[in-house]
Amino acid sequence: MTGAQTPRQGGQHASLRLDLVIVIGVSAVAAAVCGLAPSSLSPLRVFFALLLTFVLPGYALVEAAYPPRVLSAVHRLVGVVALSLMSSVLGGLALNLTGPGLTRGVWTTFLAGLAMAGSVVALVRWRHSSRGESPKPAFKLGTGAVLLFGTCLIVASGVYVSIRSAQAEERRQPPFTELSMLQEPRVPAPQKRVSLIVGSHEKVVQRYRLTVYAGQDLIATYDFAVQPGRQWMASISVPVSASGRPLAAYLQRGQSLGVYRYVKLARVT
């Protein structure tokens, strides 16, 4: 009788190990596909992204926390989906605070890494079960704990959705550049000076050409580049001959030959 039971137990443990090995392999493939696959393979990317969001991390964490047959099939399914969603939401919130920010590659790498790490922990933790021992659950999952867990998950999901919506709204705003020209006060006579300020709200580094005219006379030309979120400033001396005449600044952006921004002082006093 003992000889008949031993193969069945070994088969069960081999099956469990096979499941976890499959999770590790699928997680690695999912990270590669979601992070590197071209847009032509978007259906495949969506499929693996759904696995990373709803299945793989939660499955690995449940297997690491609970031995087989401790949870019912319904509780195990709920745990898989809930832990996967929690990992996605809380991980996204944490990654959004890092230097690289929340990008597709970082997010998929985090979830895949979590699934693989959980699978490795489960393999190590339940390795001794092949000797007939029954490992204890890492923690008990009572009704109160489930309700509290669900509430925290809903709150975290709401915060995550709000942050992502704000980021999406910010991305929808078109990039632009500001140009301003101000006469500098308290300059000893007969000197007259004007400050020029170019503020970049672009997404990338942008090159500009700025020309300044007093009436029909060109008095200054600048070629420069500005980093996103930074300002370029210059102070120019206005010729005495330009006094009383309108002063105009024309800004060209990138390779465009047309005027992008235009400001004018009616007169320099």
The CATH classification number of 176-265 equals: 2.60.40.10
Give CA–CA dist 219/41, Å, rounded: 55
CA atoms within 13 A on the CB side of 151: 6
Q: Give the amino acid at 66.
A: Y
* Packing angle, helices 104-125 and 73-95, rounded to 10: 140
Sequential pLDDT tens for the chain (269 residues): 444 444 444 444 444 568 889 999 999 999 998 888 777 778 888 899 889 988 999 999 888 887 767 777 888 888 888 888 888 888 877 877 776 677 788 888 999 999 999 998 888 877 756 555 555 555 555 555 556 566 656 666 666 666 666 666 666 678 889 999 988 876 666 678 889 999 998 888 999 999 999 888 898 999 999 998 899 999 888 877 777 788 899 999 988 878 999 999 877 76
Q: β-strands 193-201, 206-214: how paired?
A: unpaired
Q: Which of 173, 202, 190, 216 is nearest to 260 (CA)?
A: 202
Give CA–CA dist 12/15, Å, rounded: 5
Q: What's this model's pTM, rounded to 2 decimal places? A: 0.50
Q: Are 118 and 60 in contact (CB under 8 A)?
A: yes
Cα dist from 246 to 185, 198, 215, 266, whole Å: 17, 20, 6, 5
Six token digits for residue 168: 């999406």
* CATH 2.60.40.10 in the chain, residue ranges: 176-265
Ordered DSSP codes for 81-138:
HHHHHHHHHHHHHHHTTSSS-S-HHHHHHHHHHHHHHHHHHHHHHTGGGGGT--PPPS
